[in-house]
């Protein structure tokens, strides 16, 4: 069975030849997808294409949620096709809802909650893969 390094990568452990925590392919895929979701284009200095457009629209006050949903879906699909070679037959489902955030001693806020489900096949094993994540945008939090 293949083992993968966990994220965050502990470079000091690798350099000093210590054991680095490992995980299975499902956890590795989930961590990598989360990293793509929470990285803005240009943040990764050696690859401007790594990331997702969520950051580009994070503070925009878009009234058309369908446009926002399609933008996130298309951006994430392109990033996964380019940067996650272990998956095939990728399908992405995005849902956006406005939600009231109630915080004691702070005024209530309305934020957009993005829920996404990513499904595909693990190329090496032909197993089904499913990942679910949700976070708030404007500003991004998870």
Structural fold of domain 4-137: Nuclear Transport Factor 2; Chain: A, (3.10.450)
Backbone torsions φ then ψ of 134, nearest 5 degrees: -140, 150
Kindly tell me if the per-residue pLDDT of 138 is higher than 70.
no
The domain locations on the chain are 4-137
Q: What is the pLDDT of residue 73?
A: 92
What pLDDT is stored for residue 40 in this prediction?
A: 78
Structure tokens at 7: 């994220």
In the structure encoding, which two tokens stand for residue 107, read together? 């005024």
Q: Is the pLDDT of residue 22 over 90?
A: no
Tens digits of per-residue pLDDT, 54-107?
Answer: 766 655 655 677 888 888 899 999 999 999 999 999 999 999 888 777 777 776
Q: 108 versus 76: which is more confidently predicted? A: 76
How much is the pLDDT for 132?
96
- Assigned token pair, 61: 């006050």
The backbone torsions φ and ψ at residue 54, rounded to the nearest 5 degrees and listed phi first, read -55, -40
pLDDT score at 61:
59
Tens of pLDDT, residues 73-82:
999 999 999 9
């Amino acid at each position: 069975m293949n083992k993968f390094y966990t994220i965050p990568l502990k470079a000091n452990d690798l350099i000093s030849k210590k054991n680095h925590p490992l995980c299975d392919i499902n956890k590795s895929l989930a961590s990598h997808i989360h990293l793509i979701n929470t990285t803005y284009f240009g943040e990764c200095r050696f690859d401007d294409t790594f990331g997702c457009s969520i950051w580009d629209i994070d503070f925009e006050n878009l009234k058309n949620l369908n446009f926002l949903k399609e933008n996130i879906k298309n951006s994430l699909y392109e990033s996964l096709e380019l940067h996650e070679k272990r998956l095939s037959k990728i399908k992405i489902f995005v849902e956006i809802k406005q939600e009231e955030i109630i915080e004691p001693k702070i005024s209530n806020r309305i934020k957009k909650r993005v829920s996404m489900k990513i499904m595909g096949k693990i190329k090496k094993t032909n197993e089904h893969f499913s990942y679910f994540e949700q976070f708030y945008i404007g500003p991004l939090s998870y």
